[in-house]
Amino acid sequence: MKSRWFFLFFLISGFCSLVYEVIWLRLGMAKFGVTTPMVSIVLSVFMAGLGLGSWGGGRFIRRFDRAPASTPLRFYGLLELIIGISGFAAPATIDAGYRLLRDTGRGFAWGSPVYYVASGVWVAVALLPWCTCMGATFPFAMAAIRRMHGEDSEHSFSYLYLANVLGAILGTLIPAFVLIELLGFRGTLHVASALNFLLAAAVFLLSMGAVSASASTAERRALRVAPTNSTGILWLLFATGLCSMAMEVIWIREFTVYLGNVVYAFAAILAMYLGATFTGSYIYRSRVQSGSRPGESINTGDRGNVAWVMLGLIALLPLLFADPRLPLPELQYTVAGFGYGAIRAGLGVTLFSGMVGFLTPMLVDRWSGGDPDRAGRAYAVNVAGSILGPLVAGFAVLPWAGERWGLCVVALPLFVIGFRMCRKSLSQPLSQPLRKSLRTPLYAACVALSVLLAAFTKDYGAKFPHRIELRDYAATVIATGEGMDKRILVNGTGMTVLTPITKVMAHLPLSMLGRPANNALVICFGMGTTFRSVMSWGIHTTAVELIPSVPKVFGYFHPDGPALLESPLAHMVIDDGRRYLERSPETYDLIAVDPPPPVSAPTSSLLYSQEFYAIIKPHLRPGGIVQVWFPGGDDATLASVARAFRNAFPYVRTFQSIAGWGIHFLGRMEPFPDWNGVALAQRIPARAAADLVEWNEGTTPPEMMEDVLGGEKRVGDLIGVDPSQPPIGDDRPVNEYFLLRSIR
């Protein structure tokens, strides 16, 4: 292909598309809840738009087969212009839908299914039109290439796909590692919009000088290249889309325990997947440019079928590299640990991703022969599989089978394809047998090795021989340990331990109320210690937990836990705490928030942000107190958290933890009483006082309260450790994006 403009166009387009996908997902979670169903809704709408646009765009552009090259080129430029507008319009639409659902649902008993349907419909309204335009760029650009460059136009999809994947890699890394920290989410969106506008302008300029290929050239090409009508290709595209995206969901659970629960870990996994996909696509394109006919030879020759036969085995490699017995150190949340985790993930996912990157554009090229309409339909089939894959993995396979056996289940269709491929030829409508040398021996060897991988590898839970392990659509939960060394891990990340710190989260603010308390809300259940301590006051207590399996292990840590959950004073809610507050008319004397560790965990800023505190304040009864636990972090994060909290509440007190690490932030709308430890201890009921000192043998309640008060800090001093930092907000998650300041 003589013109390199289209490669640049789709590189930029791929960059912008990933920026939009990641940030729209984050905006959707901030407004509608950090829940697995909501994440699935946003991603499904995004992918559905790509598929719809690819299919519809191909059908639409077919009407202009005889139009000059400038016509499809200008249509393509118009699409990029519209996509650029989405950087401003989509967030505004999401905000409008959030306000509408919030105001409509306030005071009504909105059940979660109803809310999910309503929010899902609004997400579709906000995102689907723009995503449809993104999907239509492929057939529109292919139509322009076909009119402008007759040579090699039958491989135009793979050419654009290669550029798009390279742009997606950049769109994964540059925003996560640079732009969001500097500009925030909306600022990064505006950068993407500006690039789309520049791209559209460049396309319109190119269209002014576009010259169509001669009719005779087009006719010669049409005679030389005939697209394949085998429906087997479409089934393969659907299967590869479904399996690869389902595996990506499983990979995240498998390797997060080694990479760490930070945004950079998720960006790294996605970048590895895309980088390997790019490599596979590049190898395919290199063969195209070498003058061979790879679209045909890969489907009929031995090497192509070897790839299909081996694909199931390669899909199971993560079983080996996620095995905790592999001799690589585990140093979570350190640079070295991240590096070792990246080695594990890279070895596990890149070979499979590279093969999918090789096969997907090859299949679309073979099906379409450069025809934009056929390419659009083929790509839409692949996208349909990509939509279904995460839903199957997240809501069916992982809760039922877990990470290790779930990967085996998802790989089963690939073994079926491998068996079929070692017997049939795709390019001859699955009818001509291959050489006998590629039949039983190779397939049998792959199956045998796969059985060995499944039988002899272990998952992360094997590190804890004595454990309770539960799985659901959101996470894998492990409860382990004995005595005071018990632990709870969610997707391999330790959430908390048995510590009096979590008791202080309840007893300190309740004793400071200055009047009897009637009710309390605990956001983030963990081991249930704070919930249990609040219950010891004999008041109505609501606990909100995101992960369904977490409350089910309450009894492992506290023998009286199941009975407490059965109490008429207890109310357990499985939901996102922020979303629950927005839909609830209830007010509370205490709202205790214990965000999940580490402080840099993805979306944790949504529980430290000014916007969250604005949601909390209407739910405080007169004189009510909010307690937010900050486990500690770098100076910039501490200053940002403290500034956001001080901006939200007129009266703030902060206390160093009794264990010497972490800070309790207490805020209210009226002054705090100036009581000493003895006075506070006297306000604690006998049962609650016993709970306070349960794990501090020989210590009295007044001594514990004096210990807490002795660690008081001035909030201004906390801000002063790095006064240049802005307050944490939904748009500026200072705690989550920290790479640039950490290397300065």
Q: How many CB atoms lie within 10 A of CB 285?
A: 21
- Asked if the model's pLDDT at residue 299 lies above 50, the reply is no
To the nearest 10°, report the CA torsion of 10, 12, 17, 19: 160
The predicted structure's pLDDT at residue 425: 47
d(CA 317, CA 407): 10
Show the tokens assigned to 3: 């013109």
Contact between residue 380 and residue 55 where contact means Cβ atoms under 8 Å apart: yes
d(CA 419, CA 373): 31
Per-residue confidence at 433, pLDDT binned at 50, 70, 90?
very low
Burial (0-12, 13-18, 19+ Cβ within 10 Å), 669 = middle
Show the tokens assigned to 141: 């650009």
Mean pLDDT (the chain, rounded): 87
- Asked if the model's pLDDT at residue 2 lies above 60, the reply is no
- Convert the pLDDT of each residue in 5-36 to its tens digit: 899 999 999 999 999 999 999 999 999 888 88
**Who has greater pLDDT, 665 or 217?**
665
Average pLDDT over residues 105-129: 77
Per-residue confidence at 642, pLDDT binned at 50, 70, 90?
very high
- Convert the pLDDT of each residue in 718-729 to its tens digit: 999 999 999 999
- Asked if the model's pLDDT at residue 216 lies above 70, the reply is no
The predicted structure's pLDDT at residue 35: 82
Cβ-proximal residues to 92 (8 Å cutoff; 6+ apart), any chain: none
The span from the first CA to the last CA of the chain, in angstroms, equals 44
From the centroid of its chain, how far is CA 595? 18
The predicted structure's pLDDT at residue 218: 45
- Convert the pLDDT of each residue in 148-172 to its tens digit: 765 556 678 888 999 999 999 999 9
d(CA 502, CA 536): 13
Domains of the chain: 1-214 (1.20.1250), 231-463 (1.20.1250), 498-743 (3.40.50.150)
User: Lowest-confidence range among 15-29, 173-187, 327-341, 659-673?
Assistant: 327-341
The amino acid at residue 562 is: P
d(CA 124, CA 512): 46
Which single residue is written with the structure tokens 């699409």?
Answer: 79
The predicted structure's pLDDT at residue 12: 96
**Who has greater pLDDT, 168 or 295?**
168
